[in-house]
Amino acid sequence: MAVKLLRLCLLLVLLCYSRAEQQTCLTSASNCDKCIQSGPQCAWCNNPYSDIHCNTLRELLSAGCHKHHVFNPQGGVLVVKNDSSTEPENAKAMFLQPQEVSLHLRPGVSQSFPITITIPTDQQPITELNMDTSPVPAGVNITFSSITGGNRLVVQVNAEAAWCLSESDDSNQMQNRTGPWSVYITPRGFSLSVKLEIAPACKCDCMNDREENSPSCSGHGALVCAQCECYKPYVGQQCQRKAGSFFSPNEDLCRSGPDAPVCSGRGRCVEGFCECEKRVNPKEMYSGAFCQCSNFDCLYHNNSICGGNGRCECGECVCDKDWTGEDCSCTMETASCMANNQQLCNGRGTCWCGACVCHSEYSGPTCEDCIRCSSSCVNHVECVECLSFGTGPKKDRCDQECGYLNVTLVESPDDLPQHEEVDVFCRMRTYEGYCIFYYTLSRTPSGRDSIVVRPKGCSRK
């Protein structure tokens, strides 16, 4: 019997989960506010060129709406006042922490925070304590769970709204009908309270941003949250025609210019409006008043549109943060250009797309190499010595640090190339002792070459 009950409970859970998964958003929502109020899982695509604006976050991203264009508020908790009980007199009375909390509630999305209750040490430890609240807005549910620990009790407060609160809600106990609403949480039998400011998270920030005379609205309306609010007497999704205007039989209303193709050759004209054709790939789409835009006809880099570092809007790449270039392939990151002296490209070049473009005589990943400079003999002598003779300060790490150098030993200075055939001619001493040896340095396609004279003896000269 117990097994059957368990199976029944599991079945009910799965059915509830399935029903929640099948919940749909108001895809026909005319603005962002209506969209996010249609369900806790609903988000708004704030891109005027998108054919889909209201759907779940997953569906919007799948349809090509970039995450930067998605508005999906979840609410939140902000501690406004959180004084600590450090004064001596506070040890003799109950203390609540925090003292004030601001709470933004989106319907169906719960928010929680802890309240710590400390009572004087000369009183009996808390074993059970009930929490009372002043009247709460209609549709808001506040519950409590507690953890006791001697003279300290932690109460977890959980709040959730069933629908969007508004000034039309009928609650005689709430004096402020426009929000935020003040609710006081008080331990039963005590006078101290925690103030809770509750505000609805049902409005889109973009509703306050208006782009007047927007090109996306044919210059005849304001763009608000990717939707056109047309100026009279203009109507249409892009405010492209006047109300009551005569529909031309030659479909001129669907042309971007006198000689332009109908709907840019990417759709059909229906009562003066362009209906853009659908692509085989549902993530690819045409948009705009004349189907003149696309989200796929952009430059590619590494087989990815916009290099995988941006989005395609009306045929042009809009790069993500820290990326630039026509195809978003150029990183603005500079860490790879930092030289040992903590200067970009050693102060001898320019960091471009994450790599150094060095001035004429300098080379290397961070422009720290100058094979024709007089300092090159000193800069490379330790590697020349360890590769040639197995001595010097780098003898134990020669393979790791000197692999960039190709060394050839010769028996006599007469075997060295002529000065005009090499970049640098060097005369140096070994690290230990007084042995003098000669070598040349040259830059070759394979790297750097050094021809070293094998010393016959040591001299103090």
Bridge partners, residue 338, by sequence: 344
Print the domain residue range for 31: 24-73
Q: Is omega for the bond preceding 455 within 30 degrees of 0, making it cis?
A: no
* pLDDT (0 to 100) of residue 15: 43
* More confident call, 310 vs 226: 310
Q: Specify if 222 maps to a domain.
A: no
* pLDDT (0 to 100) of residue 14: 44
Q: If pLDDT is split at 50, 70 and 90, which confidence band does 436 have?
A: confident
Q: Specify if 263 maps to a domain.
A: no
What confidence tens digit (pLDDT) does each residue in 88-140 have? 455 567 889 899 999 988 888 899 999 988 877 666 666 877 889 999 888 89
- Do the beta carbons of residue 183 and residue 198 sit within 8 Å? yes
Q: If pLDDT is split at 50, 70 and 90, which confidence band does 2 have?
A: very low
| pLDDT higher than threshold 50 for residue 1 | no
| pLDDT higher than threshold 90 for residue 179 | no
* More confident call, 330 vs 376: 330
For residues 104 and 157, membership in a common domain is answered with: yes
| pLDDT higher than threshold 50 for residue 371 | yes
For residues 65 and 97, membership in a common domain is answered with: no
What confidence tens digit (pLDDT) does each residue in 197-207 have? 998 888 887 77
* More confident call, 191 vs 122: 191
* pLDDT (0 to 100) of residue 244: 67
Pick left, alpha or beta for residue 5 (phi over 0 → left; psi -120 to 50 → alpha; otherwise beta): alpha
For residues 322 and 363, membership in a common domain is answered with: no
| Dmax (CA) of the chain | 106
* More confident call, 301 vs 251: 301
| pLDDT higher than threshold 50 for residue 147 | yes
Question: What CATH number is associated with residue 169?
Answer: 2.60.40.1510
For residues 94 and 186, membership in a common domain is answered with: yes
217-221, 285-289, 386-390, 456-460: least confidently modelled range: 456-460
Domain boundary among 161, 183, 200: 200
Q: How far apart are CA 51 and CA 289, in angstroms?
A: 12
Question: What CATH number is associated with residue 59?
Answer: 3.30.1680.10
Q: If pLDDT is split at 50, 70 and 90, which confidence band does 175 have?
A: very low
203-207, 210-214, 274-278, 319-323: least confidently modelled range: 203-207
What confidence tens digit (pLDDT) does each residue in 223-244 have? 887 778 888 888 777 787 777 6
Residue 331: in which H helix or E strand, if any?
strand 330-331
Domain boundary among 153, 174, 200: 200
Residue 81: in which H helix or E strand, if any?
strand 76-81
Query: Token pair for residue 357?
Result: 């473009």
Non-local (6+) Cβ contacts of 351 within 8 A are 334, 337, 344, 345, 357
Q: Specify if 420 maps to a domain.
A: yes
What confidence tens digit (pLDDT) does each residue in 377-421 have? 888 889 999 999 888 899 999 988 898 888 999 888 888 887 677
Non-local (6+) Cβ contacts of 100 within 8 A are 79, 80, 81, 194, 195, 196, 197
* pLDDT (0 to 100) of residue 184: 94
Q: In whole numbers, what is the pLDDT of the chain averaged over residues?
A: 80
pTM for the complete prediction? 0.46
Distances (CA, A) of 153 to 44, 114, 299: 42, 10, 61
For residues 45 and 96, membership in a common domain is answered with: no
**How many domains does the chain divide into?**
5
Residue 22: in which H helix or E strand, if any?
helix 2-22
Percent of the chain with pLDDT over 70: 83
Question: What CATH number is associated with residue 347?
Answer: 2.10.25.10
Q: Specify if 348 maps to a domain.
A: yes
